[in-house]
Amino acid sequence: MGAPDNEDQNAWEAAATRKTFCVDGDGAGQRLDRWLSEVIGASLSRSRIQSLIRSGSVMGEGRAIVEPRHRIAEGETYTLTVPQAEPAEPEPEAIPLDILYEDEALVVVNKPAGLVVHPAPGNWSGTLVNALLHHCGSSLSGIGGVKRPGIVHRLDRDTSGVMVVAKTDNAHRLLSEAFADHGRSGDLQRAYVAVVWGSPDRMSGTIDAPLGRHAQSRTLRAVVPAGRSDARHAVTRYQVRRRYGADGAGNAFAAQVECRLETGRTHQIRVHMAHIGHPLIGDQDYARAFRTKVNRLPEEIRPIVAAFPRQALHARLLAFRHPESGELMEFVADPPSDMSELTRALDIL
C-alpha cells in the first residue's frame, strides 16, 4: 500500500488515526521504521514513527511490534495507530503578534524584545508559544503528537526580530534540518543588526571562536579552548555599517554592525562581539565593563544610551526554502523604535 493521500496526511495527528499497510516485494527485508517512513510519506517524521513503535502503536501478525529495527517480510501486514494529538501543556494566551507571513505549514513573526520564546521555569506564561497557541488554534496539526507550534530556532528574550515557526510535523522536521545545517548546503540566511561599543578596526571580518559554558554562570556562554569537552564550533561574519563619533584615525565611540551567522549557538553574537572588544550596548551580561563609558557621552544623549534596557540586537533578515513548496522566502523587519531612537541619538556624535 502506498502513502496516504494529501487529505489523510493533513489529518494524521489532528485526530486518532489507524492505517493498515501490506508489505510488498520492495519492502521485504527492510527495517520496520524505515519502511513505514517510506509508505507514509513526509507527514510523520521517522523519529516520530520510531517513538510510536516503541510505545506499542504498531501491530503486526497479531502482536505489538516495539522494536524499530524489526525486519519485515513480503505479505505481512502492519497496523499503525497514531493517537489523537494531546493538548499542549502551555495555555493559549491572547498576546498581540506581528505576523509577517502565515500558511498551513508555518508562520513568520516579528518578535518584540521582552517576549520569551518558550515556556520554562520562571516563564510558564506570556511567551511566544502561548501567543501562537491562541493565534493558530486548530490549524496546528501536531508536532510530535502534541498540538503545539514547532520552534526550530530561538531569539533571546531581549532580542527582537524575525522568527519562523512550524505548524506541522513535516515542516518542523525540514526546517529543523535546515537550521541544524546552518545554510551550508541550502539557502538559509540570518542577518542581525547590532549596536556595539567602539568599532572593529576592519570594516568586515569573521569571528571563528568556539563557545562553551561560562566559568561563573551556567546561563552564560564564553569563548573557550577548542579542545574543551563542551566547546562548540561558532562562526560569525560581521560588516560595519556605520560608525558613531569616528575620529580621523578611524576610532569610534560606537558602531552599527551587521552580523551574519554561520552557526547558531546560544548568545553567539553577544559573546563574539564582546570577545573582540566591542560588546553590545545595553547588554547586561557581556558589557558590564563598558557601563561607565556612557559618562563620556554628550549630556543631551547620555540618558538615552544609559537607559537602553536591553542588548541592542535585532534579527533583521531571515531567508529559507519553504518546507512544502521549496520556494525561496525572504523576510525583513526594520529595527524597532527603541533601537531607532538609540541610533538617532548616536548620530549627533
Shortest CA distance to 13 belongs to which of 87, 77, 63?
A: 87
Are residues 210 and 323 both part of a single domain? yes
Burial annotation 302-337 (CB, 10 A radius, 16+ → b, else e): eebbeebebbbbbbbbbbbbbbeeeeeeebebebee
pLDDT at 123: 77
CATH of the domain at 152: 3.30.2350.10
Is the pLDDT at 10 greater than 80, yes or no?
no
CB-CB contact of 48 with 145 (8 Å): yes
Would you tell me how many other CB atoms lie within 10 Å of the CB of residue 137? Answer: 10
Are residue 104 and residue 75 in the same domain, yes or no?
no
| Residue 9, pLDDT score | 43
Is 230 a residue of the active site? no
Among residues 156, 169, 283, 338, the one annotated as catalytic is 156
CB 158 within 8 A of CB 310: yes
Report pLDDT for 271: 98
Domain count of the chain?
A: 3
Note the pLDDT of residue 2.
40
pLDDT in tens, 248-270: 776 899 999 999 999 999 999 99
Alpha helices in the chain (DSSP H): 6-11, 32-40, 46-54, 128-136, 169-181, 268-275, 302-306, 337-346
Instruction: Kindly state whether residues 235 and 268 are assigned to the same domain.
Output: yes
SS3 244: strand
**Cell 520556494, residue?**
327
Lowest mean pLDDT among 7-16, 48-57, 163-172, 209-218: 7-16
Domain-terminating residue out of 124, 158, 181: 181
Amino acid residing at 27 = G
- Mean pLDDT computed over 68-94: 86
User: Is residue 338 assigned to a domain?
Assistant: yes
Residues 6+ apart with CB under 8 A from 140: 133, 147, 148, 149, 167
Percentage of the chain exceeding pLDDT 90:
74
What does the pLDDT read at residue 86? 60
Mean pLDDT, the chain, whole residue set: 90
Is residue 196 located within the same domain as residue 126?
Answer: no
Identify whether residues 145 and 289 lie together within a single domain. Answer: no
Q: Are residues 162 and 268 part of one domain?
A: no
Q: Identify whether residues 102 and 70 lie together within a single domain.
A: no
The residue segments making up the domain with residue 305 are 189-346
Using the structure block, give the residue that is written with the C-alpha cell 486518532: 16
Any domain includes 51 = yes
Same domain, residue pair 340 and 218 = yes
Question: Can you read off the three cell numbers belonging to residue 323?
Answer: 518546507
pLDDT (mean) for 24-28: 90
pLDDT at residue 16, rounded to an integer = 60
* 252/332 same-domain check: yes
1 falls within a domain: no
What per-residue confidence (pLDDT) applies to 177? Answer: 92
For the stretch 201-226, pLDDT in tens is: 999 999 999 999 998 888 899 999 99
Contact present, 162 and 315 (Cβ < 8 Å): yes
Q: How is the chain split among helix, strand and coil, in percent rounded to 5?
A: 25, 30, 50
**Using CA atoms, how far apart are residues 210 and 197, in angstroms rounded to an integer?**
22
**Domain-ending residue, one of 181, 215, 246:** 181
Instruction: Report residue 281 as a C-alpha cell.
Output: 550596548
pLDDT at 68: 92
pLDDT of residue 30: 94
Tell me what pLDDT residue 254 has: 97
Considering the domain boundaries, does residue 248 fall inside one? yes
Q: C-alpha grid cell for residue 123?
A: 516563564
Q: What is the DSSP secondary structure assignment for residue 299, as one 8-state letter?
A: T
Query: Tens digit of pLDDT for each residue in 302-318?
Result: 999 999 999 999 999 99
Cell numbers found for residue 336: 524597532
Higher pLDDT, 247 or 106: 106
Residue 187 in this model has a pLDDT that exceeds 80: yes
pLDDT greater than 60 at residue 11: no
Question: Is 108 part of any domain?
Answer: yes
Amino acid at residue number 157: R
109-146 residue pLDDT tens:
999 999 999 887 767 899 999 999 999 988 887 676 67
Rounded mean pLDDT of 172-187?
Answer: 88
Residues facing 328 on adjacent strands: 321
Which DSSP category does 138 fall into? G
Q: Do 19 and 112 fall within a single domain? A: no
The pTM assigned to this predicted structure is 0.76
Per-residue model confidence (pLDDT) at position 147: 74
Instruction: Decide: 221 and 265 in contact? Cβ < 8 Å.
Output: yes
Does residue 233 have a pLDDT over 90?
A: yes
Q: What percent of the chain has pLDDT over 70?
A: 92
